[in-house]
Amino acid sequence: MDRIIKYAKYIKYALKFCLACTLMAALAFVASAHASITAMRPGDEGTAVELLQQALQDKGYYSYPQITGYYGAETEVAVTNFQLHAKLGRDGVAGKYTLRALFGSSLESVMKNASLQPGSPSLAEAAQREEASAHIDSAPTISAPTISVPAPTANNVVYNSDTTVLKNGMKGEAVLAVQRRLVSLGYLSSADGDFGSQTEQALRRFQSASGILSDGEAGPITVAALSARDAIPYALVASKVSSGSGGAKGAAIVEYAKQFLGVKYVYATAGPNTFDCSGLTLYVYKNFGISLPHTSRLQGEMGTYLTKDDLQIGDLVFFDTVVGNGLQYDHVGIYIADGSFIHAASGSAGKVTISSLSSGYYQNTFVCGRRLL
């Protein structure tokens, strides 16, 4: 009898131990299922990717017509463009810094119950990504100097390679260092340490040639690109600008666009019965075999950067018409020569019309042109 009682106690302890193990495993599974998601990359899928796509769509970066929950090429492009505007490293991966910039303080609560199924990229893709990452990691360090005297003021900055953004109106050794590099690459004629409109224009050209957001400001990404041994010289850019659209194709684009004069403006439409501004350029350029996204902001990042003097028939022209909306390019049209352009205008016009670049409203809000032909 005593032996039976003894064995019964052992069985009781064993059952308790098994129950505890099962409970711990269940808790670990739940914790894992709801662990904070810190990165998403191409090939991943799940509700976390849906949330990412929705956030990118809300900010105008994700243009695919459906929220798919799959991290494909469209999502990678959207993430890369967001990283570009947020001045983050551009790798197309939604890592912790990208997610934090996108969702802010609500990141943890938004992703709390989200699911993520990791993808399995091909060996070739993995090798390409590894090579690209190695190239980024081996880029030369920023060469702009740090200034200790005088102390930073509104116009005279102390350069910090991680945070400082040099912009129009600033002065100092850091500005001078950037200007000297622009001079050596052929984008600027002289350097004086005073960041004015010529420096801004030179930076825009360099940024456009380098695939960087052309905001005319020298942030960490732009300065790093300027410092690189393989920085793109202006001679290469000039050859693209001088080749021009002009000619038969540019004229054909303009004539095709003119057939839509008077067509009603309707937001978020792309023809042929109604257009918004980027919808018109998308529709016209598509007829000539050139694909454009349906936002003026993204169209403004394509092609070769142009000043007003560079414009030729058929080039895209961009404007910043709404102050403080966070968009550098919020309106777009097509240059038709003689200082005029055709566009789908909202407001009182409310239709496809021709306006002047040489005076008035659009002269004052003009930002740049872009050449894709």
Residue ranges of E strands in the chain: 264-265, 274-275, 304-306, 316-319, 331-337, 340-345, 351-356, 366-371
What DSSP line would sit under 346-365, residue for residue?
Answer: -TTT-EEEEEESSSHHHHHH
Q: Which amino acid is at 12?
A: K
**298 close to 85: Cβ distance less than 8 angstroms:** no
User: Is 21 assigned a catalytic role?
Assistant: no
Strands of the sheet containing 264-265, edge to edge, are: 274-275, 264-265, 351-356, 340-345, 331-337, 316-319, 366-371, 304-306
Q: How far apart are CA 351 and CA 342, in angstroms?
A: 10
Query: Is 135 one of the catalytic residues?
Result: no
Task: Check if 368 is active-site.
Answer: no
Q: Which of 18, 34, 85, 277 is catalytic?
A: 277
What gap in Å lies between CA 208 and CA 202, rounded to an integer? 10
Q: Are 173 and 145 in contact (CB under 8 A)?
A: yes
> Active-site residue numbers?
277, 331, 343
